[in-house]
Amino acid sequence: SGATASDAPPPTPSETSTGKSGRGVDVGDLVATTVGSLERRAALLERELDVARSAGTAAATKLEFAEAAARKDAERVVRSERARHAEEVSSLRAHAAKELEESLRSVHASVSRQAEAARAALRDLADERDAVVEERAAAVSAAAAERDALRNQ
The answer to whether the beta carbons of residues 127 and 135 sit under 8 Å apart is no
Instruction: Say yes or no to pLDDT of 106 above 50.
Output: yes
Mean pLDDT of the chain: 86
- pLDDT band for position 139 (50/70/90)? very high
Backbone φ and ψ for 98, nearest 5 degrees, come out as: -65, -45
Residue 31 has pLDDT above 90, yes or no: no
The pLDDT, as a whole number, for residue 1 is 46
Going by C-alpha positions, the residue among 44, 47, 43 that lies closest to residue 55 is: 47
Please state which of the ranges 29-33, 60-64, 66-70, 95-99 shows the lowest mean pLDDT: 29-33
9: which DSSP letter? P
